[in-house]
Structure formats: C-alpha cells, structure tokens
C-alpha cells in the first residue's frame, strides 16, 4: 500500500519508532526523562507529537536507546526534518480550530479513506456551489465562506491521485436533499457521477428500500493512515461539532466503524448501479 508523503506521516513514523525503541528496552517515560535530565512532561509531549523533536533531542534519545547505526540514525534525522516542513493545511490555522487543522493533515496523509454520509454530500465530493450554500446557511462570515470553499477544493486534490483509494457510501436521500438552487444541484449530481467513474473512487448508494441501517445514527469518515494494523483516525459528525478519535481510542473506534462500513456495503447497491441512481435523481430534477 502506497504511503502518503506528508510532514504528518514523517512525524508519525518517527514518533512510532521512538516509542517502539523505548518499549523494546522496557523503560518508563520517567526513567528516560531522569536519565536525560528532562522533565517527564517534555518526553510525553514529544512522544504524543504535541511538540516538535529537535535533532539534538532526537540524537540524545537514540543514543540512550542504543541506536547508533549511522544509516538508521540518518533516516530518523531525515524524518525529523521532514516533519517540520509546512503542509498546505498550516495556512488555515488562523481560520479553523486546531482539531480541524490536524484532521486536514491526517486526511491528506491517509492511504485509504472510507466515508458514510446520511444527509449531505461528503466534503471531498462537493462542488463550489454546494459548499457555498452550506456555509451561507451555517451563518459563516464572508471570509470563512471563501476559506471554506478553498480548503475543501484543496482537499479534493487527492482524488486525482490514483494511488490512493476512496470508498464512499451515501444514503439515497443525499441525492434529493437540495441545499443549492436547481443549477447548483444539477452541477453537484453531475459531479458525483463523474467522480464515480474515477478508478480510485468507489461510490455506492444505500437505497431507500434498505430500511434501517447499522450506521444511520451519524455520518463518519474513517482514515487508514498506514498499512500497519489498526492505524486509524475516525471523525464522527455530531450536531454540536465533529468528534475525533485517534491513537489508542482511534484504533478501537476504527475497528468498530470499519465493521459498520462493511455492513453498510452489504446493503448498498453495487458500484455499477450508481450512475443509474444518480441519473434518476437528475431526471426528477428536470421534470420539476
């Protein structure tokens, strides 16, 4: 599975290696911190990624863990430098909440994305007219609206990279819930049809006749961040704001939502039926 090359993934690979090295020696964070004359809180912040890891501190850790092989050390130093490079999402830190900016970095770094949506078209599949309509109705400022459109269109760039797979499941009601005028809605449906034809995008529809759905309480996005087992990040949409799950909680939640997604696939129409279902929605729009 192809690994996305982003500062976020470089940081995650480096910190995973550092934590594994400590665990292999069965050292506690306090023991390592005391040996290096650091505070325990400093090591905790380094290991969870809330602060950057300088080359000097990295080399001190590696030496303490007995990692002296030149090639291995140089690999870790390279990852540390790469992790400090700005990502495209960093320019939005003044506009959006830190949790959402972090999500942007993780989404851009995911090797595979699964999404289920009950009510709305996923952000990765929205056209500008749709985005604008949603944000206007959400009482955002003009600047927030323009930045919101900009960031979603930037996110969508990964759909054009055939190395990364995307699986979308939409409830059929999404195709009829108009949040734009007729012209905008026509553009949105046509875009969904176009995206469904991409080789790395699988778009499936859960028909009305499916009845109760195992995941119908909320929409969610499941990011698979690497080919390592249970390396997930989960976003669950809630009325009061999205809820994010990562690290240990993300692994448990990831497995839970992956099972939900598989069950949704069992009741969704085959991917080859998607164009027909979208054409049906387009035809109804033309009849009105």
Which CATH number fits the domain that encloses residue 104? 3.30.870
Q: Are 111 and 1 in contact (CB under 8 A)?
A: yes
Q: Are 49 and 8 in contact (CB under 8 A)?
A: no
25, 136: one domain: no
Widest distance between CA atoms in the chain: 75
114, 185: one domain: yes
pLDDT in tens, 126-156: 999 999 999 998 888 888 899 999 999 999 9
243, 269: one domain: yes
92, 65: one domain: no
What is the model's pLDDT at position 52? Answer: 84
What CATH number did the domain enclosing 24 receive?
1.10.260
Backbone angles phi, psi at 183, to 5 degrees: -65, -45
pLDDT band of 1, cuts 50, 70, 90: very low
129, 161: one domain: yes
97, 53: one domain: no
- Look over the chain and give the mean of its residue pLDDT values, rounded to a whole number: 91
Question: What is the percent of the chain with per-residue pLDDT over 90, rounded to a whole number?
Answer: 69
Q: What count of other Cβ atoms lies within 10 Å of the Cβ of residue 246?
A: 19
Of 211, 187, 175, 205, nearest to 274 by C-alpha is 205
- Domain assignment of residue 2, yes or no: no
Radius of gyration for the alpha carbons in the chain, expressed in angstroms and rounded: 22
75, 216: one domain: no
Domain count, the chain: 2
Q: What angle do CA 140, 144, 148 make, to 5 degrees?
A: 105
End of a domain among 83, 103, 126? 83
pLDDT in tens, 168-210: 999 999 999 999 999 999 999 999 999 999 999 999 999 999 8
pLDDT band of 18, cuts 50, 70, 90: very high
67, 175: one domain: no
What is the model's pLDDT at position 248? Answer: 61
pTM of the model: 0.87
Q: 171 Cβ partners below 8 Å, 6+ apart?
A: 117, 118, 119, 205, 206, 213, 216
135, 271: one domain: yes
Q: Reply yes or no on whether the pLDDT at 88 is more than 70.
A: yes
Q: Are 271 and 280 in contact (CB under 8 A)?
A: no
36, 104: one domain: no
DSSP string, 191-219: HHHHHTTSTTEEEEEE-GGG-S-TTTT--
pLDDT in tens, 197-248: 999 999 999 999 988 877 777 899 999 988 777 889 999 988 778 888 876 6
pLDDT in tens, 249-271: 667 888 899 999 999 999 999 99
201, 168: one domain: yes
Instruction: Note down the domain range covering 48.
Output: 7-83
59, 153: one domain: no
Rounded CA-CA distance 270/274 in Å is 7
What is the model's pLDDT at position 121? Answer: 97
Q: Which helix or strand (DSSP H or E) is residue 142 part of? A: helix 142-155
Rounded CA-CA distance 288/285 in Å is 6
Question: Starting from the edge strand earliest in sequence, which strands make up the sheet with 165-171, in order?
Answer: 201-206, 165-171, 112-117, 220-224, 232-236, 243-245
CA–chain centroid gap for 37, Å, is 37
- Domain assignment of residue 76, yes or no: yes
- Domain assignment of residue 208, yes or no: yes
């Amino acid at each position: 599975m192809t690994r996305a090359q982003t500062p976020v993934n470089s940081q995650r690979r480096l910190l995973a290696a550092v934590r594994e090295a400590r665990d292999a020696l069965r050292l506690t964070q306090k023991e390592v911190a005391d040996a290096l004359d650091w505070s325990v809180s400093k090591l905790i912040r380094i290991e969870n990624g809330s602060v950057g890891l300088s080359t000097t501190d990295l080399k001190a850790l590696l030496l303490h863990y007995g990692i002296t092989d030149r090639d291995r050390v140089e690999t870790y130093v390279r990852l540390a430098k790469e992790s400090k490079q700005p990502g495209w999402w960093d320019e939005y830190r003044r506009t959006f909440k830190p949790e959402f900016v972090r999500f942007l970095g993780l989404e851009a770094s995911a090797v595979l994305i699964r999404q289920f949506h009950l009510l709305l078209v996923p952000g990765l599949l929205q056209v500008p007219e749709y985005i604008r309509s949603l944000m206007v109705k959400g009482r955002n400022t003009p600047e927030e609206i323009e930045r919101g459109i900009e960031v979603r269109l930037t996110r969508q760039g990964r759909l054009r990279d055939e190395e990364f797979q995307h699986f979308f499941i939409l409830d059929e009601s999404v195709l009829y819930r108009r949040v734009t005028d007729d012209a905008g809605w026509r553009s949105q449906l046509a875009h969904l049809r176009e995206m469904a034809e991409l080789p790395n995008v699988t778009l499936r529809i859960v028909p009305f006749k499916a009845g109760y759905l195992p995941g119908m309480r909320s929409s969610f996005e499941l990011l698979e961040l690497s080919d390592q087992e249970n390396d997930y990040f989960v976003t669950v949409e809630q009325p009061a704001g999205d809820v994010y799950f990562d690290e240990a909680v993300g692994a448990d939640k990831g497995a839970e939502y992956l099972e939900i997604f598989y069950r949704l696939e069992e009741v969704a129409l085959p991917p080859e039926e998607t164009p027909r279902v979208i054409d049906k929605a387009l035809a109804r729009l033309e009849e009105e």
